[in-house]
Chain A
Amino acid sequence: AQSVAQPEDQVNVAEGNPLTVKCTYSVSGNPYLFWYVQYPNRGLQFLLKYITGDNLVKGSYGFEAEFNKSQTSFHLKKPSALVSDSALYFCAVSFLTGGGNKLTFGTGTQLKVEL
């Protein structure tokens, strides 16, 4: 069975500092990995995905993620955090079934960026 773990319920960083939100996965075969962001009372917005190729994936709003196959991790990073980055972040792994594309989500990490 596919699974995703986000070990930190909350991450606090100061504005201007680099941020990392952690994600590890368990999946048979090659994973398709995604990061989404959710602002209060809104749906999820797609940030970036890893399919194959370069282990460093660049996405929206200056975010990037590093895929590490040996550690089965896909951590989200940003070199310089903004207060507006404060939100709930979800990691997800995709797998194909007879019924289509299914996503398994982690439990989410609340990011708080302070002045």
Chain B
Amino acid sequence: DGGITQSPKYLFRKEGQNVTLSCEQNLNHDAMYWYRQDPGQGLRLIYYSQIVNDFQKGDIAEGYSVSREKKESFPLTVTSAQKNPTAFYLCASSITGRSNQPQHFGDGTRLSIL
């Protein structure tokens, strides 16, 4: 079955450490997205990518970085500059250029501080 796989499901970060969250999709979608979910705040967009080797900042990009070297992969790095990284992180994908198409979501990674 086609879908989006996020790993790991749970991740712990030490002070000053960078951590990378994995997102892989086999839906053949061009666009991929990273969201951060905090209780009572809905989902906020961190970064998004329309095509390979191209990505744009979302609403809360500070302290995060991404790469898009392959169509199916869009890893997110939470850097030590992100002072409040504890959250639930969701990856999504969609058909590019078609805003009438739904985004498909992975099952998330929960990041906590040690």
The interface centre, meaning the residue of B30, B42, B92, B102 with most chain A CB atoms within 10 A of its CB, is B102
Report how many residues on chain A are interfacial, defined by Cβ distance under 8 Å: 25
Binding site for B on A (CB under 8 A): 9, 32, 34, 36, 41-46, 49, 51, 90, 94-96, 99-103, 105-108
Cα separation A94 to B99 with both chains bound (whole Å): 6
Cα separation A100 to B54 with both chains bound (whole Å): 11
Binding site for A on B (CB under 8 A): 4, 6, 30-31, 40-43, 45, 48, 50, 56, 58, 90, 92, 94-108, 110
**Count of A-B residue pairs with CB < 8 Å:** 70
**Known contacts A32-B100, A43-B105, then 19 further A-B pairs from the complex at CB < 8 Å, ordered by chain A residue:** A41-B110, A43-B92, A44-B105, A46-B104, A49-B102, A51-B100, A90-B42, A90-B43, A96-B97, A96-B99, A99-B48, A99-B50, A99-B56, A100-B30, A100-B96, A101-B97, A101-B99, A103-B43, A107-B42
Q: A100 and B102 in contact (CB under 8 A), knowing A9-B40, A43-B107, A43-B108? A: no
Contact A46 B102 (CB under 8 A): yes
